[in-house]
Structure 1
Amino acid sequence: MKRDSIYYQIFKRFPGLLFELVDYHPSQAQNYRFESVEVKETAFRIDGVFLPPEGAIPRIIFFAEVQFQKDEALYHRFFTESMMYLNRNQSQYDDWYCVVIFSSRSLEPSDTKTHRIFLNSDQVQRIYLDELGEPNQQPVGINLMQLAIASSDAMAEQAKQLIERVQLEETDALPKNEIIDIITTIAVYKFSTLSREEVEVMLGLTLEQTRVYQEAKAEGREEQKTEMLKVTVPLLLKTGMSVEQIAQQLNVDVESVRKAAQ
């Protein structure tokens, strides 16, 4: 998994985090939708577009690009795609901004003159994650984004500290379990030779906190439900109830009842 794809996972789950990085903060930041959009009649696909919630005033679109490798054509592509999208969707916005997130300043294209009309504008912001300051001094959201650029040596300790912060600073906008899942995903990427379970042990996560446990717990409930149906359905069929009536009585779907009756 590439690190920029991790960021797209983060933004998909928590679109409001983008606005912790930029100077402009829409009143409905947490309600933005992060999407990958295709510009019709062209070969362009824009990976990161933050679309305003329905009814928002003004309707402001944010284009985002996360860059973890050197790409001299980045600005040519990014601004061309963004302007093409704006041209094709003129009725859907009142204003727009572009945000380019680099892991470090060294990855920025060397040619900043050709697109200076954009780069020198207040509508374009460039973010350098390694220049945001010490992770433990940043908001939880920014700390999470910085985690992906931490060295392997520092990552485990930073992840543990972030998990401790999440326990204390949980908010509705950043659900604890989802943040922990993202932290674990980043760690799995960093320590690719370890299994997810081994990474969770390394991070000091208790079993109940992990996605693996939650999924197993859900599977266990499903197995219990299946066993209950296998016992209950035949008995109810003997009373003369139809499959549909049993499904309604037990609050399950008809197909589950049919399977249990076989």
Structure 2
Amino acid sequence: MKTDTIFYKLFQEFPDIFFELIGKPETNSNLYEFQSQEVKETSFRLDGIFLTLENLSHEPIYFVEVQCYKDELFYDRFLTSILLYFYQYQPLNSQWYAIVIFDTRANDVDFPQRLNSLREPHLRCFYLDELRNASNQSLGLEIVKLIVEGKRKTKKLVEQLINRTREEVNDAAIQRKVLELIEAILVNKFPNLSREEVKEMLALELIRGTRVYQELKEEAREEVKAEIQEEIREKIKAQVKLEVREEVEQEVKAQVKLEVREEVEQEVKAQVKLEVREQVEQEVKAQVKLEVREEVEQEVKAQVKLEVREEVEQEVKAEIKEEMIKKFLQRGMSVQELAELFELDVEIIARLNT
């Protein structure tokens, strides 16, 4: 878990929690600005510093360090960083405190005897695991407890924190920040949890608007959008196909009608290429009712009408051809000549000659 990052966010957004944690809840946090500070020309970086605003040098500076693993040289490094900070930045404040927040007392180490002169007046250590047994704590300290709480009890604690946030924080903006902080602690505390496990533990039905909720909502929205797009695509494709078929039939019918007096084309264009631009609707109606029965009846009616028309045209053509053959026979043309002219068998011409 990236504890340094969590505490930086926690103290930056809610500095009152820091002063409550160190036993000074009466401190006015508006007098301070929390920031992370690098000590130049060294590899040291202080986790955080509560610096007083200008003209408030009578108030103390608080150097904050979060330590979640055992480091025998921790106090040497931390206090050296503070002294180097004084050397480089020359703050006017006469008072200062070195605040160490351990996740558990087991990660604390022996304090170097050579630094004893700094220990009593300046050093303060706090152990998060010892907050678990304390009762009647504020919402802020309960959130801090969540950082070291075991997985088995985390879900119950999260539910309690969410309920308390709803009840105790009236400002909507601050309430949302608190919920997002709870979410950030949980996500960083258990990085291997699946989204479903995070969703269950966060009780997302209660904390709508947080980052994880929005991410899950957006994913679901994209999935539904893809399904709807495919459904609309198939529907529009079917509709366009019907419209194109009707247009093609009308065009072919008109072309044949114009050319039938002179000659009937032996071949009709094999393919009619149409490019149909697909448009995907951005918003889809929740329910679409199609009156299929009427559309099908109209389609069948049109198709039957077309078939009957073609049959009648063929019959009329045959009758006209027979009448022409009979007239030519009456004028004295031979059966053989008429057979070649109309490309028919001699027997068929002969039967018409009887």
Tell me the TM-score normalised to structure 2 length.
Answer: 0.54
Give, in whole Å, the separation in 2 of the partners of 1:67 and 1:26.
Answer: 26
Greater Rg by CA: 2
Q: Post-superposition shift, 1:155?
A: 1.0
SS for the counterpart of 2:100 is strand
Give, in whole Å, the separation in 1 of the partners of 2:119 and 2:108.
Answer: 12
Give the AA of the match of 2:89: N
Give the AA of the match of 1:204: A
Once the two structures are superposed, residues 49-106 of structure 1 have per-residue CA deviations (whole angstroms, 9 ceiling, x without a partner) of: 1111234352421101111111111100000001111222324423211110111111
Structure 1 window deviating more from structure 2 (140-149 vs 15-24): it is 15-24
Report the counterpart of residue 12 of structure 1 in structure 2: 12
User: Is 1:40 matched up with 2:30?
Assistant: no
Residue 210 and residue 90 in structure 1: after superposition, are their counterparts in 2 closer, same or farther (change >3 A)?
A: same
Superposition map of 1:126-205 within 5 A: 126-134=125-133, 137-170=136-169, 175-196=174-195, 198-205=197-204
Structure 1 window deviating more from structure 2 (150-159 vs 132-141): it is 132-141
CA contact (8 A) 1:66 1:101 kept: yes
CA contact (8 A) 1:100 1:125 kept: yes
Q: Post-superposition shift, 1:182?
A: 1.4
Structure 1 window deviating more from structure 2 (188-197 vs 174-183): it is 188-197
CA contact (8 A) 1:200 1:210 kept: no
Give, in whole Å, the separation in 2 of the partners of 1:97 and 1:26.
Answer: 16
Give, in whole Å, the separation in 1 of the partners of 2:26 and 2:58.
Answer: 9
Q: Post-superposition shift, 1:36?
A: 1.3
CA contact (8 A) 1:135 1:146 kept: no
Report the counterpart of residue 211 of structure 2 in structure 1: 211
Give, in whole Å, the separation in 1 of the partners of 2:6 and 2:91.
Answer: 32
Give, in whole Å, the separation in 2 of the partners of 1:150 and 1:135.
Answer: 13
Give, in whole Å, the separation in 1 of the partners of 2:4 and 2:134.
Answer: 19
Give, in whole Å, the separation in 2 of the partners of 1:112 and 1:171.
Answer: 47
RMSD: 2.7
Report the counterpart of residue 83 of structure 1 in structure 2: 83
Give, in whole Å, the separation in 2 of the partners of 1:99 and 1:83.
Answer: 14
Residue 58 and residue 39 in structure 1: after superposition, are their counterparts in 2 closer, same or farther (change >3 A)?
A: same
Tell me the TM-score normalised to structure 1 length.
Answer: 0.72
Gaps of 5+ in 2: 222-354
CA contact (8 A) 1:72 1:109 kept: yes
CA contact (8 A) 2:16 2:25 kept: no
Q: Post-superposition shift, 1:119?
A: 2.4
Structure 1 window deviating more from structure 2 (163-172 vs 198-207): it is 198-207
CA contact (8 A) 1:181 1:211 kept: yes
CA contact (8 A) 2:204 2:213 kept: no
Give the AA of the match of 1:190: K
User: Is 1:101 matched up with 2:104?
Assistant: no
CA contact (8 A) 2:62 2:97 kept: yes
Give, in whole Å, the separation in 1 of the partners of 2:185 and 2:143.
Answer: 9
Superposition map of 1:108-127 within 5 A: 108-121=108-121, 123-127=122-126
Give, in whole Å, the separation in 2 of the partners of 1:53 and 1:169.
Answer: 29
Q: Post-superposition shift, 1:148?
A: 0.8
User: Is 1:52 matched up with 2:42?
Assistant: no
Report the counterpart of residue 66 of structure 2 in structure 1: 66
Give, in whole Å, the separation in 1 of the partners of 2:63 and 2:26.
Answer: 14
CA contact (8 A) 2:36 2:49 kept: yes
Give the AA of the match of 1:186: I
SS for the counterpart of 1:35 is strand
Q: Post-superposition shift, 1:136?
A: 5.8
Give the AA of the match of 2:84: M
Q: Post-superposition shift, 1:144?
A: 0.8
Give, in whole Å, the separation in 2 of the partners of 1:137 and 1:162.
Answer: 13
Once the two structures are superposed, residues 176-203 of structure 1 have per-residue CA deviations (whole angstroms, 9 ceiling, x without a partner) of: 1111111112222333233456413332
SS for the counterpart of 1:37 is strand
Structure 1 window deviating more from structure 2 (112-121 vs 64-73): it is 112-121
SS for the counterpart of 1:189 is helix
Residue 3 and residue 42 in structure 1: after superposition, are their counterparts in 2 closer, same or farther (change >3 A)?
A: closer
Give, in whole Å, the separation in 1 of the partners of 2:57 and 2:34.
Answer: 18
Gaps of 5+ in 1: 221-262
CA contact (8 A) 1:35 1:49 kept: yes
